[in-house]
A and B are shown apart, each in its own frame.
Chain A
Amino acid sequence: MDRRKFLGVGLVAFAAIVMPGTDLSAVDFRETMPQAWEVEKTVDGIKALYGNGALKESGKFSFKAPKLAENGGSIPITITSSLDLESIALFQDANPRCLSCVFSVPVGAIIDYDFRIKMRQTAVVTVVGKERGTGTLYTSSKEIDVSIGGCGG
């Protein structure tokens, strides 16, 4: 990639992050945690967003995803949980940066989130949930095979 162009693009993105946001956001993670969005690897991404706490697996926290995705540009993911979580994040190792999205869960909400992500190659997808109050971190991960990569190639 053209280095100058890359830097320029980066600057634009950076400007978008640091610019004062509107008052409607409760927690806009792109503003409060700008560094977490630039991390490449999942392990480091989790640390950047949630700190060094131990990760626990739980039957009450899981997500659904296809084992083999035909189209990496659109992989359906469903996160469900009966725990009282404060926030949920999805990481993958397929793209240049690992963080795909962070949900901040309102109090008393039903956790059943359905959305689609892009992955440019086969990789492990990890979701991490932070419990309200205790701050316990729950995790669940799956490898998703991608036959045609997303992100425009």
Chain B
Amino acid sequence: MFKLDHKSILIGASVVASTALLLTGCLSSSSSTNEKTPAKVQANALAGPYTGKIGAIDGGVIYPRENGMYTAYVLNEQSTKGINHGRVPTANEIKAWDLDALPDGTGLPEGEGSVEEGDELYEAQCASCHGDFGGGGHGYPQLAGGNQSKDENGIVITLKNQREYGKTDAPKRTVGTYWPVATTLFTYIRDAMPYATPKSLSNDEVYAITAYILAQNYIKIDGEVMDDEYVLNAEKLAKVVLPNKDGFYPNIDGPTGPDDVKAFYADRAKNIGSGTRCMTDCKDPGGQDGKTEATLVRIDYEMSDVVPPYSTVRDLPPEVEDVTISKAEKMYNESCKVCHANDNMGAPALGDADAWEDVMDNGFDQVLRNAIDGMGGMPPKGGNDSLTSDEVKSIVEFMINSSK
């Protein structure tokens, strides 16, 4: 096994190498004008294969690089000199790709739409999946509803600790309770909805639908309630503050990224982002000279060391045994009902006397054998391997008796 892998890696590497050579040959003549790449980049490119630094990965193990190999892997020592990785995109290309809208409204297109127009559009295009008034119920995401009030930490109450009323209800993730930034609601609808025909809506229509969904969640813009006549545009959309604004990870991009992360976790988990990375005079991770043993550097905190702590309390009410149904029926419900509840899947339906009469023409033993070994679209034991043959027998008897 190992040998084979080894060989294919080598072949793969050589293919890459020859392609690279070919490309170099073609491009060097045509792209001579583009060779004014900054000197720093050039120097890095010239260095060729990646050379690891001691302790480069926090908590990781670094093995020696020897004879062009890093453990089982072959190092690519091909020079990358003169290889051009594409070209600078043109202004128009950037414009065509740069479609997102930032939370502050940058990137939102012109246009406007009223709640009332949105109502019409929603009815025609969205309600069949997302339900009337955004109430869900058709197997697709619910868009409005849920509890939007927040606890003292600014977390939407229904999203906290995953269960509502401390009991059984799962959190309701709607636009009002979950969605953090309203501008992405606009871009999401524009780019991905309606499901069957995405991008078929004009900007004005998307503004209208966005307005309608926000209004269904009782979102106020600048303290103003969104009534039917309310007209939404880019400027107003940027002002929307959704209840779950702070419920997501901070912005990790850009120069302020590390500071954002630290600030975000200051009163949350202690194990992420608050340490200082070792830059000089660090502990020798070992393993570099081939003599000392490689050591693991461990992180000081446990993943469970968070504030507030993860709840491990098991307080779901115990399942109540329904004494009115037999053990066989219970097993039937678990393993067989999916297909045998009705005849949609071609299986003889429970309670269908004619279908079961046909099946029973083969005799009970044959039916039982089919149930255990599988038959046609039916997997052995209904796909539940843990059933014993006796259990399958009792289920089959139950199904036959229920279908007379």
Contact = CB atoms under 8 A, between A and B. Distances in A.
B168 A70 contact: no
A67 B349 CA distance: 13
A74 to B, nearest CB: 4
A152 B169 contact: yes
Identify the interface centre among A68, A71, A152, A153: most chain B CB within 10 Å of its CB. A153
Contacts of B342: 67-68, 145
Given A152-B168, A153-B168, A145 B137 contact: no
B341 A145 contact: yes
Contact of B137 (A67, A74, A152): A74
Contacts of A70: 139
Contacts of B168: 152-153
A68 B137 contact: no
Question: Chain B contact residues: over half helix, strand or loop, or mixed?
Answer: loop
Interface in A75-96: 76
A119 B137 CA distance: 14
Contacts of A68: 341-342, 344
Identify the interface centre among B168, B169, B341, B344: most chain A CB within 10 Å of its CB. B341
Given A152-B169, A153-B168, A71 B139 contact: yes
A76 B169 CA distance: 21
A3 to B, nearest CB: 16
Interface in B129-148: 137, 139
A38 to B, nearest CB: 20
A56 interface: no
A107 B354 CA distance: 46
A71 B170 CA distance: 14
Contacts of A152: 167-169
Nearest to B136: A74
B113 to A, nearest CB: 28
A71 B342 CA distance: 17
A47 interface: no
A68 B338 CA distance: 11
Interface string B137-175: 101000000000000000000000000000111000000
Contacts of A132: none
Contacts of B341: 68, 145
Contacts of B139: 70-71
Interface of A: 67-68, 70-71, 74, 76, 116, 145, 152-153
The 5 A-B pairs with the shortest beta carbon distances in the complex, nearest first, are A74-B137, A145-B341, A152-B168, A153-B168, A70-B139
